[in-house]
Amino acid sequence: MKLFRAISSFEFSDFEANKFRCTERTISAKQFFKSRKAAEDFVSKSIEREYEPPYQFIIEIEVTEEDLNKQWFDEQVLDTHKALTVYEVFAFI
């Protein structure tokens, strides 16, 4: 399964060094869209809403159902798109 996450340049730098992790600037979860179009739509809406820091990258990751089932996650609708919130532990990323 492919998952997509919109990230800022700050989070991209952290991702390159540490992969996905929760920091003092984030909640203890990461949200991923189930399609690239959904992530792109989220970025467009965030530009309109002037989010800070702005999202500048979309990260695509591949996870297996087995790896995902090892995590604590919720499926949800995020800004009208199917998404997953994965909590705290990112052993598969």
Task: Return the SS3 of 38.
Answer: helix
Q: What is the pLDDT of residue 41?
A: 95
Average pLDDT of the residues of the chain: 80
Q: What percent of the chain is modeled with pLDDT above 90?
A: 24
Q: Is the pLDDT of residue 64 over 90?
A: no
Banded model confidence at residue 87, pLDDT cuts 50, 70, 90? confident
CA–CA dist 16, 26 (Å, integer):
17
46 — phi, psi (to 5°)? Answer: -70, -35
Banded model confidence at residue 91, pLDDT cuts 50, 70, 90? very low
